[in-house]
Every structure is written in C-alpha cells, then in structure tokens.
Amino acid sequence: MILAAALAACAVPCLAQHLNAAGATFPYPIYSKWFSEYAQQHPGVEINYQSIGSGGGITQIMKGTVDFAASDMPLTDGMLAQSPVKLIHIPTVLGAVVPIYNVPGVGADLRFAPDVLADIYLGKISNWDDARIAKDNPGVKLPNQEIYVVHRADGSGTTFIFTDYLSKVSPDWKSTVGANSAVAWPKGIGGKGNENVAGLVRQMPGAIGYVELIYALQNHIPYGYVRNAAGTWLKASIEGVTDAAATVKSMPADFRVSITNAPGKDAYPISSFTYLLIPTHPTDATKEKVIKDFLNWMLNQGEGQVSALDYAPLPGSVADKVRAAVARLP
C-alpha cells in the first residue's frame, strides 16, 4: 500500500521542478491558492507566479522567459501569428469586473448605467451630483464632488474586459478609445495592477475605478450595480457571471470568446473568462509533464475551490472541452 501511494504521487516525475509563470492580476487570488496547494501535494514542484498584468505575461511568454503565462484578454490572430512560441488558450475560471467608488457620505449601492459609466471615463460626466447619475439613483444624496477617474497604468486584461464592455455599450467609446489591454485614456490617473487601483480608490475621496470583484471585497470598497443588456440592474455575483457564460451556445475550438454585455436578464454585463497561455511545443519535456498534470489537477480539484474566492467555475461543457485540449498536449 505504501509503495502504491508513492507511485501515485510520482505520476509527475519525482524531480525538483521550478516553473515560472507571469501575467494577469485578475485571477491572481485563485492562482496563488492553486499553485500553493498543487505544490503541497506534489513535493519538489514549485510554481512561481508573478502578478504583473496580462500585457506583461504576454510579453514574457513570447520572449520565452516564463514557462506559461496568464491573460484575461484572448490573443488576437495577429498576436498569435507573430509569437515565436505556438500557444493555446486554456480557460480557467470566470470573473467579474466591478465599478468601485469612494463617494463621501454615500453609503448606498450606486447604480451605473452603461452610457453613464462610459461618459465618466470619457470625461463627459465630471461631478458626482451630475443629473444623469442622480436620475438612476433616486433618493441618494450625491455630493457636489469632482469625480477622480482611476484606471490601470499597465497592460491589463482587466482593462481589456472593461474597455471591451464600454466599446459594446458606447459608440463614442468604441470610435475614440476602443478595446485593448492598454488604451489612450481620455482622463484619470493610473495604478499598476488591480491591487493598486483598489488602493488609489480607497485613498481618494471622489474616486471611481474598476477591479476584479475579489479586490473590491478584500479591500471593503463599495461597488455598484450595472444595468445589463436586458435592462436589469445587477451587482456582480457568481450567479450573474455563470449566467453570462451560459449565453455562449457554441464555444469556439480555441476558447477565445467575449461574454461582456451578454443577453439575458440575469447575466452580469462585465464578465469574462480568463486564460492560461500554454506553449504547445515546450523546450523542456519534464516541465511540460508538470504543466499538463497541473491543468488536469485544476480541472478535477481546483475548480471546486473557485466559488469561495468569488470566481465562477468553468461550465461543465467547457471543462470537458478543456480536458480534451489538455489531453492533446505533448
């Protein structure tokens, strides 16, 4: 029995393996938990993940300085074609981006209509007592306070999700700013990572920003309702993200899909998959075996942990497709 247990533990080569990865801050809380628990269950394996933003992760995987990367933004056809490393997207979890704010004297949950959110970031709405904000928040005493816009300063998948959403709900945003991991912001100050955006908003009366849901919860920062495509006011929740994912009737074979502004009365509108970027032709076969084993561990054990950190697990049909994609890795 002891020998059998030892052999089972060595499904991954019983060698010290140190893997480096980098990228998105959006899923960092769950990745940190996963990598730690996987290492505890596989002595000798260590996965070092640097939470530097999706843009940084993409740059490092293309340069070959990390073993895999993480991004909330699916790579474009052009990016994939230019990459010296052939990559596949492995969706891991789903999450929500929320508008956070620090408005003195306002304890209620504010409501943000899509066009209002876009115009705040475009600089067209610059004061908290603006009539358009007041219209959606009857009974709330809004102060005569300037709005301080906070955005990401680094290449960010969270920014891609947010600007992808704004591009769908605001023709003006789409034509003047667009969707990308880094954009030319019309106004505001930048913070590096979800952590710093949350910190800036918490410190600055009058500030508004956008972060992944868990960063708002961990930092005890108010976050608002957003009106979805069906006209329902929703606060971010696991259920709302799950309903947004359910609107994808046919998942593309490469998993690159956008679910922002999804239809459906219960779909939270600023939802997204997040991805690991895995090289399909690794230079180190032993590391590839560890990565492949980790991905299977993630699907079979890790997915059960995500709700506790306010992410949504992969839908069963998507998880099955991911298993098939992992099985095809060398």
- Whether residue 184 is found in the same domain as residue 167: yes
User: Which tens digit of pLDDT belongs to each residue from 254-290?
Assistant: 999 999 999 999 999 999 999 999 999 867 888 999 9
- Whether residue 239 is found in the same domain as residue 124: yes
- Whether residue 149 is found in the same domain as residue 213: yes
- Whether residue 73 is found in the same domain as residue 127: no
103 in any annotated domain: yes
- Whether residue 106 is found in the same domain as residue 240: yes
102 in any annotated domain: yes
- pLDDT of 158 > 60? The answer is yes
Last residue of a domain, one of 245, 260, 285: 245
- pLDDT of 17 > 70? The answer is yes
Domain count across the chain: 2
54 in any annotated domain: yes
Q: What is the 3-state secondary structure (H, E, C) of 293-324?
A: HHHHHHHHCHHHHHHHHCCECCCHHHHHHHHH
- Whether residue 170 is found in the same domain as residue 233: yes
User: Which tens digit of pLDDT belongs to each residue from 80-124?
Assistant: 999 999 999 999 999 999 999 999 999 779 999 999 999 999 999
260 in any annotated domain: no
Count the alpha carbons within 13 Å of 159 in the hemisphere toward its beta carbon. Answer: 25
pLDDT at 281: 80
pTM for the full predicted model: 0.92
- pLDDT of 63 > 60? The answer is yes
Mean pLDDT value across residues 306-322: 95
Mean pLDDT value across residues 53-75: 95
Domain of 108, CATH number, reads: 3.40.190.10
Task: Indicate the burial class of 329 (C-beta count within 10 angstroms; 0-12, 13-18, 19 or more).
Answer: middle
Angle between helices 54-63 and 157-169 (to 10 degrees): 120
255 in any annotated domain: no
- Whether residue 176 is found in the same domain as residue 288: no
- Whether residue 279 is found in the same domain as residue 313: yes
Last residue of a domain, one of 245, 261, 296: 245
User: Which tens digit of pLDDT belongs to each residue from 169-186?
Assistant: 999 999 999 999 999 999
63 in any annotated domain: yes
Report the C-alpha gap between 265 and 278 in whole angstroms: 35
User: Which tens digit of pLDDT belongs to each residue from 240-256?
Assistant: 999 999 999 889 999 99
- Whether residue 176 is found in the same domain as residue 231: yes
- Whether residue 66 is found in the same domain as residue 125: no
250 in any annotated domain: no
Range of the domain at 137: 96-245
Angle between helices 28-41 and 285-300 (to 10 degrees): 110
- Model confidence band, residue 60 (pLDDT cutoffs 50, 70, 90): very high
User: Which tens digit of pLDDT belongs to each residue from 186-227?
Assistant: 999 999 999 999 999 999 999 999 999 999 999 899 999 999
- pLDDT of 14 > 70? The answer is no
- pLDDT of 15 > 60? The answer is no
3-state secondary structure of 153: coil
- Whether residue 228 is found in the same domain as residue 202: yes
Report the C-alpha gap between 315 and 312 in whole angstroms: 9
